[in-house]
Homo-oligomer: A and B are copies of this chain.
Amino acid sequence: MSSNPERDFVTGHLDDLHADLDAWLRIPSISADPAHAPDVEASAQWLAGALRGVGFPVVEVWPTAGAPAVYAEWPSADAGAPVALVYGHHDVQPVTPEDAWTHPPFEPTVVQTDLGPELHARGAIDDKGNVAFHLLGMRAHLAATGRDTPAVTVKLLVEGEEESGSPHFRALLEERRDRLACDVVVVSDTGMAAPDVPSAVTAMRGLADAEITLRGPGVDLHSGSFGGAVPNPLHAMASLLAALHDETGRVTLPGFYDKVRPLTDRERELMGRVPFDEAAWLAGPAASRTAAGEAGFSTLERIGARPTAEVNGMWGGYTGPGHKTIVPAEAHAKVTFRLVADQVPADLADQVRAWVAAHVPDGIEAEVHVPPGGVSPCASDLDHPAMAALLTSIGQAFDRDAEDVLFTREGGSGPEADLVDVLGAPLLFLGVGLPTDRIHAPNERVLLPMLHRGAEAAAHLWRELAAVPFAR
Contacts and interface: CB of A to CB of B under 8 A. Distances in A.
Interface of A: 205, 207, 209, 211, 216-219, 221-232, 234-235, 237-245, 282, 285-294, 299, 302-303, 306, 308-319, 323-328, 331-332, 334, 336, 338, 361-365, 410-413, 435, 439-441
B325 A363 contact: no
A318 B313 contact: yes
A291 B230 contact: yes
A308 B229 CA distance: 9
Given A217-B288, A289-B362, A308 B227 contact: yes
A323 B165 CA distance: 10
A242 to B, nearest CB: 4
Nearest to A298: B229
Contact of A315 (B209, B225, B290, B316): B316
A217 B334 contact: no
Contact of A310 (B219, B292, B327, B334): B327
B326 A293 contact: no
A417 B288 CA distance: 46
Nearest to A300: B229
29 contacts: A218-B287, A219-B441, A222-B412, A224-B338, A226-B288, A227-B338, A228-B293, A228-B310, A231-B289, A232-B310, A235-B241, A235-B244, A235-B311, A237-B314, A238-B239, A238-B314, A239-B242, A289-B363, A292-B362, A312-B324, A312-B327, A313-B318, A314-B315, A314-B317, A314-B319, A314-B331, A315-B316, A323-B334, A323-B336
A218 to B, nearest CB: 3
A238 to B, nearest CB: 4
B314 A316 contact: yes
A303 B226 contact: yes
A230 B312 contact: no
Contacts of A310: 223, 227-228, 232, 325, 327
Contacts of A334: 317-319, 323-324
A336 B328 contact: no
Contacts of A441: 219
A298 B81 CA distance: 81
Contact of A292 (B237, B290, B318, B361): B361
Given A223-B310, A226-B303, A238-B244, 16 more contacts: A207-B325, A221-B286, A221-B287, A223-B312, A228-B293, A228-B308, A228-B338, A238-B240, A242-B243, A289-B363, A312-B327, A313-B324, A317-B334, A318-B334, A325-B336, A325-B413
Contact of A316 (B285, B303, B313, B323): B313
Nearest to A317: B313
A317 B323 contact: no
A240 B226 CA distance: 23
Given A205-B224, A287-B221, A334-B323, A229 B293 contact: yes
B225 A303 contact: yes
A232 to B, nearest CB: 6
Contacts of A435: 225
Contacts of A231: 288-290, 292
A319 B336 contact: no
A299 B224 CA distance: 13
Contacts of A227: 303, 308, 310, 336, 338, 411
Contacts of A308: 223, 227-228
Contact of A228 (B290, B306, B312, B318): B306
Contacts of A413: 224, 325
B234 A286 contact: no
Contacts of A336: 223, 227, 323, 325
A314 B234 contact: yes
Nearest to A435: B225
A331 B219 CA distance: 25
Contact of A317 (B205, B219, B238, B311): B311
Nearest to A439: B222
Contacts of A312: 223, 234, 317-318, 323-328
Nearest to A227: B310
